[in-house]
C-alpha cells in the first residue's frame, strides 16, 4: 500500500523535527508537510528530515493546508493518506492502526482517549461533535486531526473550507458521498505547548457559522 502522511504545519519549529523522527521510526518515510506561511524554521527543518515540503506564501488556515496536502498526495498516487498534527500531540503508532482500519472502511477517524485532555477542550469538543452530528448524522471525535483516507475518499472528498471547520466538513462530505466511516481509538499527548493550540470557544462559534453557510450553499 502506498501510504502518505499529510502534516499541516504553522510555526512548529519546536516540535516538527521530533514528530517526523517518530513517524520515520515507525517505518513511514513518505511525508508531505504543508508549511502554511510559517515565519520560523518549520519548512527548513521538515526539508532536512526528508519530507516533501509544500509552502503557502501566507497563512491560509488548516483547511487550506489539508486541501493542498491531500491534493499533493493524490497526484503522487497515494492509496492511503493519514493526516497527522505537527505539534507532538499524536501517537506515531496510530498511523498503522488508522491505515489498517481502511480494510472495510473509506475514512478512519482517530478517536482521542479522554485521559489527559483538558476539561475545557473536552467540553468544547463535545459541542462541536454534536454540531457535526446535526449536519452529518455521525457522532464521533469530529475535531480529531488524526484520520486516514483511502483512495476512494481522496477522490470523493473535496475540501472547500479554509479554516478549522474543515474537520467537520470532512465527515459531512464523507456521509454525503455514502462513504464508510470507522472510529479508531488513538492515544494523544497533551503538553503545555499543544494545550495552547487548537480550537477555542470563539473558533467553535466560527465553525458553527461556517458549517451553516456551507449547508446553505452546497
- Residue 83 sits in a domain whose CATH number is 3.90.550.10
Give the mean model confidence (pLDDT) for residues 100-106. Answer: 97
pLDDT band at residue 126, thresholds of 50, 70 and 90? Answer: confident
Measured distance CA(172)–CA(178) in Å, rounded? 10
Mean pLDDT computed over 122-147: 90
Contact 110, 141 (CB under 8 A): yes
pLDDT grade for 140, boundaries at 50, 70 and 90: very high
Q: In terms of C-beta density within 10 A (0-12 exposed, 13-18 middle, 19 or more buried), how is residue 185 classed?
A: exposed
pLDDT at 208 > cutoff 90: no
Q: Residue 216 pLDDT > 50, yes or no?
A: no
Question: Is 0.75 surpassed by the pTM of this model?
Answer: yes
Give the pLDDT of residue 160: 93
Query: Structurally, how many domains does the chain consist of?
Result: 1
Residue 62 reports pLDDT greater than 60: yes
Query: In which domain, by residue range, is 128 found?
Result: 3-217
Q: What are phi and psi of 199, to 5 degrees?
A: -80, 155
207: pLDDT confidence band, cut at 50, 70 and 90?
Answer: confident
Contact 79, 100 (CB under 8 A): no
Amino acid at each position: 500500500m502506498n501510504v502518505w502522511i499529510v502534516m499541516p504545519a504553522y510555526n512548529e519549529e519546536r516540535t516538527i523535527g521530533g514528530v517526523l523522527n517518530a513517524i520515520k521510526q515507525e517505518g513511514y518515510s513518505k511525508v508531505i508537510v504543508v508549511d502554511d506561511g510559517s515565519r520560523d524554521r518549520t519548512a527548513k527543518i521538515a526539508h532536512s528530515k526528508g519530507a516533501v515540503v509544500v509552502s503557502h506564501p501566507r497563512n491560509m488556515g488548516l483547511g487550506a493546508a489539508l486541501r493542498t496536502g491531500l491534493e499533493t498526495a493524490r497526484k503522487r498516487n497515494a492509496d492511503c493518506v493519514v493526516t497527522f498534527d505537527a505539534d507532538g500531540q499524536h501517537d506515531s503508532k496510530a498511523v498503522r492502526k488508522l491505515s489498517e482500519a481502511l480494510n472495510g472502511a473509506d475514512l478512519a477517524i482517530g478517536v482521542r482517549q479522554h485521559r489527559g485532555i483538558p476539561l475545557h477542550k473536552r467540553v468544547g469538543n463535545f459541542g462541536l461533535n454534536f454540531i457535526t452530528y446535526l449536519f452529518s448524522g455521525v457522532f464521533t471525535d469530529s475535531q480529531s486531526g488524526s484520520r486516514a483516507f483511502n483512495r476512494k475518499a481522496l477522490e470523493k472528498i473535496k475540501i472547500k473550507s479554509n479554516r478549522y471547520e474543515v474537520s467537520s466538513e470532512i465527515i459531512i462530505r464523507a456521509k454525503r458521498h455514502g462513504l464508510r466511516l470507522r472510529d479508531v481509538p488513538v492515544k494523544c499527548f497533551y503538553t503545555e505547548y499543544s494545550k495552547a493550540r487548537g480550537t477555542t470557544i470563539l473558533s467553535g462559534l466560527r465553525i458553527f457559522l461556517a458549517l451553516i453557510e456551507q449547508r446553505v450553499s452546497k
